Amino acid sequence: MRPADLMRRTAFRTALGVTVFVLTALVLASTIGYTLLRSQLVARQDARVTELFIALLETARSADQTDLIEAVTTRISASADRSTVYLLRGPDGRVLAANVPDRWFQPGWSSVEAATLNIPTDYPYRIFAGTAGKYSIVVGLTNADLDDLAEISQSAFGWSALGVLIAASLVGAFIATRIQARINEVEAVLHRVALGDLTARLTVSRGGSDLDQISLAINHALARLGSLVEAMRQVSADIAHDLRSPLNRLRIRIEAASEAAGQPADLTAALAEIDALGQTFAALLRIAQIEAGTPREKFAPVNLSAVMQAVAEVYADVAEDAGMTLTCKTSGPAFIQGDTSLLTQAFANLIENAIRHCPPGTILTCGVETEGDHVTAVVSDTGPGIPEAERENVLRRLYRLEKSRTTQGSGLGLALVKAVAEAHDATLSLNDAQPGLRVSLRFALTVHAG
């Protein structure tokens, strides 16, 4: 699956959103925690420096210079690694005791790099400089603990972020997989319904989640739709089937009466009308059977070009008798998965429809065109065509144009073509041939193994 297609998946975007939210929350919580902890450590470090300075201040007030120098020297000896630094100046500005170079420090608090103090470390120092009577005292502590805290925090955050990312990705992937599975199931069921299988249903788990409630509602709607469609199909089939017998009996009686009366014109016309009614009911029954669902597992590779050529050969003489010309053009074999008899019926209906409704001199053209992964069957004529506003209507059952076409026919030819197209997942299009009408059926092309 391409990344662009993956980003359009709701389940993937949901999992990605959860992961981003968790990481954002982790970053925010870690930042706040680190800031609070660092501020606490800085406060403690400043308190320690202040404590050391006050101790020396008290010594300077209560003892002589020798005792003060000894106190500073003792503290310097106790900090061999120079994690704590001291500098004591006398009243004349001369350094009395120190473990750092003689330099001027800004009064009050400051941060000084270790290199400035000639100390081989990368950690800066927190310095406080002040006076104790006639003496100048500088006390400082290394920021090693604070920098170590920063490194530990960054390392901990990195590993925590990685762990959270992996955990969130796994959980997100699990959630996305479950959601996508339900979505795929819905797509599959709706696809089966679109193909005429109204028995398809969604799986409902025992959890009773919101998705289960939606599945129940969809199943209920499909059950209701299935019963309604089945009832309509049954009515159509029953009408078409049950009226055949009365029509046949009526035809037999009219034939008998026609023979007895010497076949007068009115009885002959009555027989023609009865035949037309019989054809109408036969077409209705055929459409109902197609819409009831053609088993797709029975579909086989069909050479669409061969079917079109066979139909064209049958109707070539019929078109010539009507004063028209019919030509068939194909670009070679074009195989699809389908039903040969249904496709033959559809192509025959299209050509017969054109012959019936076009005037003499009309040029009829049929053929099969292959383009990429699709193949298109086309029947076109140079007749009066169909107005654009009527092209959807003529696909309805029993709909007949009264202006641009004659009133012959049952109005079921294109309806049957539409039913065959839907059974094969084909796209039926009616377009202007300038002049005339161009009817096309676009199928998915399959590779012929033989």
Please check the confidence at residue 223 and state whether its pLDDT lies above 60.
yes
> pLDDT confidence of 406, banded at 50, 70, 90?
very low
pLDDT at residue number 403: 44
Average pLDDT of the residues in 100-105: 88
pLDDT at residue number 5: 58
> pLDDT confidence of 73, banded at 50, 70, 90?
very high
Distance of CA 207 to the CA centre of its chain: 26
pLDDT at residue number 108: 92
Structure tokens at 329: 């053009």
pLDDT at residue number 138: 93
CA distances from 13 to 16, 17, 20, 170, 214 (A): 5, 6, 10, 14, 21
> pLDDT confidence of 213, banded at 50, 70, 90?
confident
Please check the confidence at residue 352 and state whether its pLDDT lies above 80.
yes
Domain 10-147 of CATH type 3.30.450: yes
Please check the confidence at residue 405 and state whether its pLDDT lies above 60.
no
Using the CB atoms, write b or e for 398-425: b if 16+ within 10 Å.
Answer: eebbeeebeeebbbbbbbbbbbbbbbbb
Q: How many residues does the chain have?
A: 450
Structure tokens at 79: 């900090």
269 has which bridge partners?
A: none
Q: Which of 1-5, 152-156, 324-328, 431-435 has the highest mean pLDDT?
A: 324-328
Where in the sequence of the chain do the CATH 3.30.450 domains occur?
A: 10-147
Please check the confidence at residue 364 and state whether its pLDDT lies above 90.
yes
Class of domain 210-291 (CATH, top level): mainly alpha
Q: Which residue has the higher pLDDT, 126 or 197?
A: 126
Contact between residue 115 and residue 100 where contact means Cβ atoms under 8 Å apart: no
pTM for the structure as a whole: 0.46
Report pLDDT digits (tens) over 227-241.
777 766 666 666 655
> pLDDT confidence of 4, banded at 50, 70, 90?
low
pLDDT at residue number 324: 92
Average pLDDT of the residues in 199-220: 80
Q: Which residue has the higher pLDDT, 291 or 381?
A: 381
First and final CA of the chain: distance in angstroms?
31
pLDDT at residue number 148: 76
**Fold for domain 296-444?**
Heat Shock Protein 90 (3.30.565)
Average pLDDT of the residues in 16-34: 81
Structure tokens at 265: 């014109």
pLDDT at residue number 220: 85
In terms of Cα–Cα distance, which of 378, 394, 410, 375 is closest to 312? 378
> pLDDT confidence of 147, banded at 50, 70, 90?
confident
Report pLDDT digits (tens) over 323-332.
999 999 888 8
Give me the DSSP letters along 237-265: HHHHHHTHHHHHHHHHHHHHHHHHTT--H
**Mean pLDDT score of the chain, rounded to an integer?**
79
In terms of Cα–Cα distance, which of 439, 438, 442 is closest to 422? 442
Please check the confidence at residue 446 and state whether its pLDDT lies above 80.
no
Contact between residue 386 and residue 401 where contact means Cβ atoms under 8 Å apart: yes
What are the backbone dihedrals phi and psi of residue 430, each rounded to the nearest 5 degrees, phi first? -115, 120
Provide the 8-state DSSP code for 297: G
d(CA 192, CA 198) in angstroms, rounded, equals: 7
Where in the sequence of the chain do the CATH 1.10.287.130 domains occur?
A: 210-291
Where in the sequence of the chain do the CATH 3.30.565.10 domains occur?
A: 296-444
Q: Which residue has the higher pLDDT, 32 or 165?
A: 32
Sign of the Cα torsion 393, 398, 402, 408 reads positive
Give me the DSSP letters along 116-173: GGT-SSS--EEEEEEEETTEEEEEEEE-HHHHHHHHHHHHHHHHHHHHHHHHHHHHHH
Using the CB atoms, write b or e for 343-376: b if 16+ within 10 Å.
Answer: bbbbbbbbbbbbbebbeeebbbbbbbbbeeeebb
Contact between residue 386 and residue 394 where contact means Cβ atoms under 8 Å apart: yes
d(CA 209, CA 266) in angstroms, rounded, equals: 70
For 428, what's the count of Cα atoms within 13 Å in the CB-facing half-sphere? 20
